[in-house]
Structure 1
Amino acid sequence: MTATLPPPESSGATRARLPIRTLRTDRWWLGPVLTVAGLTAFLVYGLLRAFQQDHYWVPEYHYLTPFYSPCLSASCEPGSALFGTFPWAFPWFIPYAVISLPLLLAFRFTCYYYRKAYYRAFWQSPTACAVREPHGRYTGETRFPLLGQNLHRYFFYAAFLISLINTYDATNALLHGENGGFGIGIGNIVLFGNVILLWAYTLSCHSCRHVFGGRLKSFGDRPFRYWMWTQISRLNTRHMLFAWITLGTLVITDLYVALVAGGVITDLRIFN
């Protein structure tokens, strides 16, 4: 006859009290450390470039860095404000892309993957599986600044619109070669490569998947929505990969435009 143990609540049992933080022997700390380093490096670079307000536009080829798109200050370089500007020049502490940058930052800040990444890396909640938290209690997303995390579904629409603007920027650059006509240079490849990957990250978002498949009880009479939901679901499995790759391509694209605009390097033309 097998003895049956009483349930924990009746026996007064509690969680095991371990004298050490974890019994894990692998390098569980490496992932959070790399996450902190990667996100911090991107934020520092992005802030410095957003407030530099220089070397963001190459008039010869109409290269515009995504960190300044759309350029909305009256002091934007001639030709760089493809959608018009406000009637005044921005002070140094307001980025030229004053609308798009905060919305894109909010989209990534509330992204399901990034939430997991910085919860573990910065707030250590938890740092890793089977690793004791340093916090005395768990409050979830019930306190500031996490109360607005569910706004992610709305930030998705803003990110979708900004991706369209970035696509327009890249296409516009194709139409302004060295002689004023169609042309392709390394900068065009960099811009389009970045746009394609930004679309991959945006469309692989869980909110995008919900747009096509959410609130439906059956796909039976909606074959197009089912097809779209299926394709987005395939992208969704690589959402984390696209989240990191696009941080890198944003920096590479901005750095390339800055170097060409500053005269440090010359854009290699493939076709003019």
Structure 2
Amino acid sequence: MRAQISERTLRTDRWWLSPLLTVAGLGLISVYAAIRTFMNDYYWVGEYHYLTPMYSPCLSAECVPAASHFGQPLPELPGFLTPPIFIIPFLLGFRITCYYYRKAYYRAAWMSPPACAVAEPHKTYTGETKAPLIAQNLHRYFFYAASILLLINIYDAIAAFSGEKGFGIGLGNIILLVNVGLLAAYTLSCHSCRHIMGGKLKHFSKHPVRYWMWQRISTLNGKHMQLAWSSLIFVCLTDLYIALVASGVIGDLRFVN
């Protein structure tokens, strides 16, 4: 029999601080991403071939031609729509359905529950078996899409070493490499990736290679929360740096050429 306690919680610490910081952080990043998505400018630095990950791949006919590494198979978009509209659903879907982000926004935004030993305001709970939360089960498919986009980002980072003056290295190159490194670590640390690698194996001894990879991914998985935040924040910082260079506000710090 459960204890009948009228108070919402008996905790005396600042349990509300963590969900407050989480919802504030996600809110600020969402606002920044929305502004940059619909700005439709300052996403390409032609001199150094820097392309922000928020606009990669740029497949619309309204993209800067040099920034369209994979051609422009899509026509110009009407109204307020911009090229990122084709990739945002996959990136957003991967993040929203991520096991860590579910915990983060369930607690921070929906207060379900806001913290351990704190009662939630909802009277009923249906889990993720009905709409719209049943869509969380699509996470593994968003993982496949995000993996393809990650490979494209890696290609962009490598291509950026060849600018208008040939091979060169600048601060932007380092930022792009760090960005794809964090994105790769976050993507590989995904629970779906871990399950794909070793979740269905019954005998690890018969699959030594997959077992070794499963161990490495499991290690990354232990840092999934940290990688989720660091990769998300650094994508914004990468985009901001490229936008500042593209707009002429700052110059790229060059080390070679």
Structure-1 separation of matches of 2:217 and 2:159: 28
Partner of residue 189 from structure 1, selected from 161, 164, 174: 174
Partner of residue 87 from structure 2, selected from 92, 97, 100: 100
Partner of residue 261 from structure 1, selected from 246, 249, 252: 246
Structure-1 separation of matches of 2:171 and 2:78: 33
Structure-2 separation of matches of 1:143 and 1:122: 19
Residues 16-165 of structure 1 aligned to structure 2 (within 5 Å) = 16-165=3-152
Match of 1:200 in 2: 185
Match of 1:236 in 2: 221
Q: Given that residues 173 and 188 in structure 1 are in contact (C-alpha distance below 8 angstroms), is that contact kept between their aligned partners in structure 2?
A: yes
1:212: how far off? Answer: 1.0
**3-state DSSP of counterpart to 1:72:** coil
Which structure: greater helix fraction?
Answer: 2
What letter is aligned with 2:162?
A: L
**3-state DSSP of counterpart to 1:97:** helix
Structure-2 separation of matches of 1:45 and 1:145: 26
Structure-1 separation of matches of 2:126 and 2:39: 38
Match of 1:7 in 2: none
Structure 1's unaligned 5+ residue stretches are 1-12
Q: Given that residues 51 and 92 in structure 1 are in contact (C-alpha distance below 8 angstroms), is that contact kept between their aligned partners in structure 2?
A: no
| TM value normalised by structure 1 | 0.92
Structure-2 separation of matches of 1:233 and 1:17: 40
What letter is aligned with 1:190?
A: I
- Rg larger in structure: 1
Structure-1 separation of matches of 2:36 and 2:131: 28
Structure-2 separation of matches of 1:121 and 1:143: 21
Percent pairwise identity:
62
| TM value normalised by structure 2 | 0.97
Q: Please report the RMSD computed on the Cα atoms of aligned residues, expressed in angstroms.
A: 1.1
What letter is aligned with 2:11?
A: R
Structure-1 separation of matches of 2:47 and 2:15: 49
Structure-2 separation of matches of 1:270 and 1:251: 23
- 1:64-88 per-position Cα deviation (integer Å, ceiling 9, x unaligned): 0001000111111130111111352
Quick check: 1:223 aligned with 2:218? no
Count of residue pairs the alignment pairs up? 257
1:18: how far off? Answer: 1.8
Structure-1 separation of matches of 2:13 and 2:74: 58
The change in CA–CA distance for 1:175 and 1:25 in structure 2 (over 3 A counts) is same
Structure 2's unaligned 5+ residue stretches are none
Higher relative contact order (CA closer than 8 Å, sequence separation 6+):
2
